[in-house]
Amino acid sequence: MLTRKKVLAISLAVFAALNFTACGGGDKKAEGKPAAPKTTVAVPARPAVSTTPSMSFKFGEKEAKVYELKGVDLTKKIRTGRLAVMNGAAYFFVDMKPMQLGKVSLKNESISDLTLVSDSGGIDYLATNGKAVLFRTGDGKMGVYDGKKVAKGDKWLGETIGVAGSDEFYVMQGTALKAATLENNTFKNIRNVIPDYKKIPAFDKAILKPVYADSNEIYLRTFLRKEGVKDAVPTLVAFDKQGKELRRYEGVQKLPRGWAVTTNYVIHTGSMGDFRVFDRTTGKKLGDANVGLRPFVLYTITGNDVLLYDDRADKLYRIDF
C-alpha cells in the first residue's frame, strides 16, 4: 500500500515533470528559437507647445497638430521643390532672377530673418546632413553652405539626400544610387548601393528619386504600375544600406505630392489636401485625412515633426505627428 507521504511525493514529481515540459525543457525543437523581432519604435519626446494649433486632424487613433509658422511674409517669394532644416533654420528657394537659396530662422512656431544665401541653379536640388546644406549653383557646381559661408565643390552629380548627424550622403546619378562622404566640400569614398535600378525587374520602367536616409535605411520614391489600376501608383520604397528592398508604401493617387519619413511614420500628401500616414516599421496604413492645406513639399525636422510648404498660400507650417 502507498502511504500518504508516498502519494504526495509521486504527485509532486508528476507536477514538476509536467511543468518542465510546458516550459520547453522537453521540446528539442524549441531550443535556441530566436525571440520575435521587436517592431515597436518608441515615440520621441518633444518639448511642450503653448501655441494653439491652426488645425488638427486624425489619422487612425492618433492626432496630428498643424502650426502656421508666422513672422515673415513669404507671399510671392518662396518657390521651391525641396526644403531643408539645419541648426534652427529652414532652407528653400526664393523666386528671383537669378533664383536664390534662402533661409529663415525657426523658433518654436515662428520664423524670422529671411536671408538670401546664394545664387541657385534650380528649385529641386537641396540637401543637408545637419552640418552643411548642399545645393546646385547656377554654374552646375555643388554649393556647400555651413551656415556662415558658401564654398564650391565639384560638379553637381544628381539628386542628393543627407543622413542627419553624419558625413554621409546618397546621390542618384543616372540610374545608380551611390553613397558618399563629404570631405573638404567634395564627395569622397563614392560607392554603388544600387548600381543600376533599371536592372531590377520591379523598377525596369520606373524612375527612382531619393527622399530620406538614416543610419539603417534609404527611401526612394517612384510611380509603379499595378494591375487593375489605370494610373501608376505613387510608391515609396524602403531599402537597406546594401540596396535590398525592405517594404513599400502606396500613396495618395489624386494629384500626388510629397513624401516624408519620420521616426515612426511615413507620410504622403496630395495637392487637394490629402494626407496618408503609415506605420514606418510595418508599412501598415494608419489612416487617411483631408485637410485645408495644399501640401506641396514636406521635410522631416526631427522626430515626428514635419515642415510643410503650402504653395497656394505661400506659407510654411509645422505638423507634429
pLDDT digits (tens, 9 = 90+) for 277-314: 999 999 999 999 999 999 999 999 999 999 999 999 99
Q: Is residue 168 part of a domain?
A: yes
Domain extent for 197 = 55-320
Q: What is the pTM of this model?
A: 0.86
| Number of domains making up the chain | 1
pLDDT tens digit sequence for 131-140:
999 999 999 9
Closest CA to 210 of 155, 280, 162: 162
d(CA 130, CA 187): 16
Peptide bond connecting 98 to the previous residue in cis, omega within 30 degrees of 0 = yes
* Residue 46 forms part of a structural domain: no
318 burial level (CB within 10 Å; 0-12, 13-18, 19+) = buried
At 15 the pLDDT is 40
CB 177 within 8 A of CB 225: no
Domain at 285, CATH number: 2.120.10.30
Q: Is position 225 within any domain?
A: yes
Any domain includes 208? yes
Q: Report the percent of the chain where pLDDT is more than 70.
A: 88
